[in-house]
Chain A
Amino acid sequence: MGALVLRRFGALLAVLFGLACIVFVLQTVIPSDPARAMVGANASQEAVEAKKAELGYDDPLPQQFTQYLQRLAQGDLQSSLRTRNEVTADLREFAPATFELAFSAFVLAVAMGLGLGLLLAGGGRAGRIIRIFLIGGASVPAFLTGLLLILVFYSWLGILPASGRVGDNFIVPDGPTNLLVVDSIIGGTPDLTLDALKHLILPALTLALLPALAIARTLSTSLTQVEREDYVRTARSKGLTERTVLLKHALRNASGPALTMSGLQVGLMLGGVVVVERIFAWPGIGLYIDQSIAYSDFPAITGATLLLGTAYVLVNFFVDLTQAWADPRIRTV
C-alpha cells in the first residue's frame, strides 16, 4: 500500500507540472495584452510598458518560465489581474462552493449510478426503459439539462431556486468551513440549511447526471459479467433470493470498474463545473475560471487549473485505495 501511495504522489507532482507547463505555453502563444487591459485604453505606452515590467511580461521567455515555476513551488500564485487579490485568497473564497457542489454531485452520481446500474442489470421492462433513458440522457449536454431543470422546477413548478447559493433574504455565515450547508447546521439555522439545500439540488443534479449514467452503464456491464461466474450460480443454487445474490455476492466483485469510472467521472465533473456554475450563477471555481478567461487573467487561470488538477488526482488516488480495499489483488500490481 505504501508503494501505491508513493506512486500516486509522484503522479500528482507530474500532473501538476504538466498542467503548469500547459498553462504557461497557452499564456505565451495566445496573442493577448493583459497589461494594456489592466491600465486601460487611455494609458500611455509608457504606462503599459511599466505594467508589463511589473508583471514580468517583458522578461525573456525562459526567465519568465523559471520565475513562474519558482513562484509555483513556493505556493505563490501571484495576484489576479481582474480582482487584484492574491489568487490564493480568491481560491479560498471560491473553492468551498465548488467543493460543496462537486461533493454533492458526486454522492448523487454514485447513488443514481448504483441504483440505475442495478435496475439495468436486473433486465426486464424496467431495464429496457432505463437503457433508453441512459442513451438519451448521455447525449444531452449539461447546459441544456441545466436550463431544462430551471425551466421545469423554477419557472413552471416554482419549487426550486434558479441561481445562486442562497436566497438574498438570508445572512450568510462567515465560516467556519464556508461550506454553506455545514456552516448553517453548525450555526443552528435550519431555515438557511433548507434554503442552501434547495439551491444545491438543481446544479448538483445537472452536474451528476452524465457521470451517473456512465457509472450505471459500467456497473450494469460488470454485473452482467459477474453474474455468469460460478460462485454466483452457486449462490443461486443454494436458494438465495435474487436480491441477496445481487447485493451480497455480485455487487462487491462487480464494483471495481464502476469505482474506476467514478474516479474518472470526477474529472468530467470538475470540467463540467465551469458550465454548470455559469448557468446556475454558482459562485465557485468554475465561475471564477469562466470570468478569468474573458480577462486573460492567467495567474487566476493557472491557480484554478492547478487546484482542479490536484483535486482530480487526489480523487483518483482515493478511488485507487478503495479499489485496493475492494480487490486485494490490485495492491500487488
Chain B
Amino acid sequence: MTRRTTTLLAVLAAGALAVTGCGSAEKTDSASSSSGDSKTLRIPYLADMSVPDPDVFYDIEGNGVILSQYEGLLKYKAGTLDIEPNLATEYEVSDDGKTYTFTLRDDVTFHSGPKMTCDSVKAAFQRRVDVDQAPAWMLADVKSMTCENATTFVIELKNKVTPFLHYMASSWGPKVVGPEAIETNAGDDFGQTFLETKGDGTGPYKLSSFKRGSAYTLTKNAEYWGTPANFEEVILSITPDMGTQRLKLEKGDLDVILHGFPASELESLPDSVTVEKQDSLLRLILYVNSNKAPFNDPAVRAGLQSTIDTNQLVEQGYSDTAEKSTGIYPPGLLPGEPKLPYTPDPAKAKAAADKAKTKKLTLAYSADESGVQRRVGELLQAQLKTAGYDVTIKEVQLPTVYGWAENLEEAPDLAIMTNTPDGAHPDLWASIMFSSTGGLNFLGAKNEKIDANLGKAISLPPEEADPLYKEIAQEVIDDNKFFLLGDVKNVFVMQDSLTGLSNTPAYPWLVDFAALKRGE
C-alpha cells in the first residue's frame, strides 16, 4: 500500500467516523419524507406571494395560503356562485339594506388557541380598516360595527351597498384574523410585521413556515371546527420556471400545478397526470384606446366587431381551456344579458380600417407564464393585418399597465389582458372594468351613461338593478371600447392519484387544499 493510498483511507475513515457521530437535519415526523405520500401535498407557485396578511394581500398567487388559514363570515359554495355561511351560521339584511346581522359560530378557535367571539370578529374587521391597504375598500362604506352578544355581529353601512354580501364571500373579503396579530404582536403597525411571515386564523391549515423565495409550509389544524384536512402538510414551493414545474410533476415531486400550464402542452402529458378544467370568472379582454387615433373614431372602433374572430382567438390560443365569451359579464352573473354581436366580416372590417387616420397600431399584452396571451396577440395581429392595419405587439408588466392612465396618448392602441372580478356580482365586474374611474379600466375609457347607471344600480335591489346592468352591457357593446373575447377556465394539472378536487369559480387558480386527498 502506497503512502498516498494510506492517507486516502485514513481521510475516508475519519470522514465516516465524523458522519456516524453527527446529527441529522431530517424532519423527524416524516410528514414530508417522500413524494407521493398521503401526508404531504406539494404545490408550486410561479412567484412569491406579496405577504400572507389577508388585510394587505390583493393578488392571486398566494390566495391558497390566505384561504387555507383564514376564513370570512361567508363564502362561495364549491362549484357555484352561491353564497353560503362560513364563520357565520346565518345572516339577515334589514329592510333598508343598510344593516347586516351575522350570527357567528360558537365552536371556532384560532390557531393560537383562543375561542372566536364576536369581539374578535369585530377586532379583525377593524384591523382591515386600520391597516387601510388594498382590500380595505370593501369596508369603506361601514358606519359602525357592534356586538350584540358573543355570537351576534352587526354591521351598519353608511349607504346601501347591494353587493355587500359578495364582499364578505370574496377571496379578498374581510377575514377573521386572530389575537396573535391584533393583540400580542400588534406593534405599531396593527401586526403587519408579524403577519409578514406568521399567521393566526381559524382555517383548516396553519402557516408553520414562510421562507420567501423558497417555500411556504401549511400544517393541518387539528382543532379545526369543520371537516378536517386530509393532508397533514401542504408545501408551496416557489418554482418560477414552468418547464421545471412540469418535469417535477411528471416525476411525482409535485402534486398540482394551479395555473400557467401551456394549453398547447396538455395533450403531451403522461397518463399519470390528469387535467381538470373548471369554470372561473377569469376573462380575456381586448382594451381599445379611444383617446387617440385611430380608435377615437367610433366608426373605426365599430369596425373591430367585424375584424376580430373570437372563435379563432379562443380555439387556437386556448385549445379547450377557454370558451368564447357570449356576454359582457362573466357567465352566471347576469342571466339574460345582451349577447355579444362580434361577427367576422372581412369586407366590413376593411371598410372601417380604411377610415382610420393611421394604420399603425401598437398591441400590448400582459406577461403570463403560459404564453397564451402572446399567442392571442399574434393571432389578433394577423387578423388586424388582414383588415389593413400594421400592428406591432409588445409584452408589458402590470405596473406598466397601471401607468398608462398617466399618459393615454403614449399608451398602446390595443391591449390584451385577463382579469377577474373580486366576487360574483355584476357591480364587482362593471365598476372596476367599465366605470371611468375603474381600477381595471387601463386605457381610460369614458362613458357617462355607464357611470350614471353604476352609481344608481349599486343601491338597488336585484329586480331594479339588473335592467341597469343590462343597459350597461349594451352600452359597452355599442361603445366598442372593450371587447370581451374569452371565458378562461381554471386549469389544474395534477397527479392522477389525487381526488377530492373542489374549486369555486370566484376563487381564481385555487383548489381547496383541505378537500384534496390521495386515492379514493
Which residues of A pack against B, CB within 8 Å?
A: 30-34, 36-45, 82-85, 90, 93-94, 97, 147, 150-151, 154-155, 158, 162-165, 168-173, 184, 187-192, 278-281, 283-284, 287-288, 290-291, 293-296
Nearest 4 interchain pairs by C-beta: A41-B439, A40-B134, A283-B213, A296-B399
Chain A proximity mask over B198-234: 1 for CB below 8 Å, otherwise 0:
0000000000000111110100000000000000000
Cβ of B92 under 8 Å from chain A: no
Main secondary structure of the interface of A (DSSP, over half): loop
B404-419: contact bitstring with A at CB < 8 Å (1 yes, 0 no)?
Answer: 1111001000000000
Give which listed residue, A30, A39, A165, A187, contacts B214 with CB less than 8 A: A165
Bound-complex Cα distance A163 to B51 (A): 23
Q: How far is it, in angstroms, between the C-alpha of A37 and the C-alpha of B407 when the chains are bound?
A: 16
Question: In the complex, are the beta carbons of B56 and A84 less than 8 A apart?
Answer: yes
Contact A290 B397 (CB under 8 A): no
A98 to chain B, nearest CB (A): 11
Q: Is B14 part of the contact surface with A, judged by Cβ < 8 Å?
A: no
The residue that A84 contacts in the complex, of B196, B213, B248, B251, with Cβ under 8 A, is B196
Chain B residues near A189: list those with CB within 8 A.
22-25
Would A278 and B241 count as touching, CB distance under 8 A? yes
Q: Contact size class for B? A: 35 or more
Partner of B248, one of A33, A163, A296: A163
State the Cβ distance, A215 to closest chain B Cβ, in Å: 27
Q: How far is the CB of A91 from chain B (nearest CB, A)?
A: 12
A-binding residues in B (CB < 8 A) = 18-19, 22-27, 30, 32-34, 40, 42, 47-48, 50-51, 56, 58, 133-135, 137, 192, 196, 211-215, 217, 235, 237-241, 243-244, 247-248, 250-251, 253, 367, 397-400, 402-407, 410, 422, 432, 437-440
- What residues on A are CB-neighbors of B238 within 8 Å? 281, 283, 287
Q: Which of B34, B215, B439 contacts A42 (CB 8 A)?
A: B439
B residues within 8 A CB of A154?
Answer: 247, 251
- Could you jot down 27 A-B contacts, CB within 8 Å? A31-B400, A33-B399, A36-B399, A83-B50, A83-B212, A84-B51, A150-B243, A154-B251, A155-B251, A162-B244, A168-B40, A169-B30, A169-B32, A170-B25, A173-B25, A188-B22, A188-B23, A191-B26, A192-B25, A279-B241, A281-B244, A283-B212, A287-B240, A291-B48, A294-B397, A294-B398, A296-B400
Is B214 a contact of A290 with CB atoms below 8 Å? no
The reply to whether B134 and A43 contact each other, CB–CB distance below 8 Å, is yes
Contact A191 B440 (CB under 8 A): no
Q: Are A294 and B215 in contact (CB under 8 A)?
A: no
* Cα distance A295–B51 in the bound complex, in angstroms: 14
Contact B25 A281 (CB under 8 A): no
The distance in angstroms between the C-alpha atoms of A162 and B192, with both chains bound, is 34
Give min CB distance, A39 to chain B, whole Å.
Answer: 5
Please tell me if the beta carbons of A171 and B398 are within 8 angstroms of each other in the complex.
Answer: no
CB contact between B50 and one of A84, A165, A280, A281 (< 8 Å): that residue? A84
A97 (CB) vs chain B CBs: closest residue: B213
Contacts of A169 in B (CB 8 A): 26-27, 30, 32-34
Asked, given contacts A36-B439, A84-B50, A163-B239, whether A295 binds B399 with beta carbons under 8 Å apart, the answer is yes
Report yes or no: A170 in contact with B27, Cβ–Cβ below 8 A. yes
B440 A31 Cβ-Cβ under 8 A: no
Within the assembled complex, what's the spacing in Å between the Cα atoms of A331 and B472? 77
Q: Are A43 and B26 in contact (CB under 8 A)?
A: no
Residue in chain B with minimal CB distance to A188:
B22
Contact of A162 with B253 in the complex, beta carbons under 8 Å: yes
* Minimal beta-carbon separation of A94 from chain B (angstroms): 6
Residue in B24, B40, B241 whose Cβ sees the most chain A Cβ within 10 Å: B241
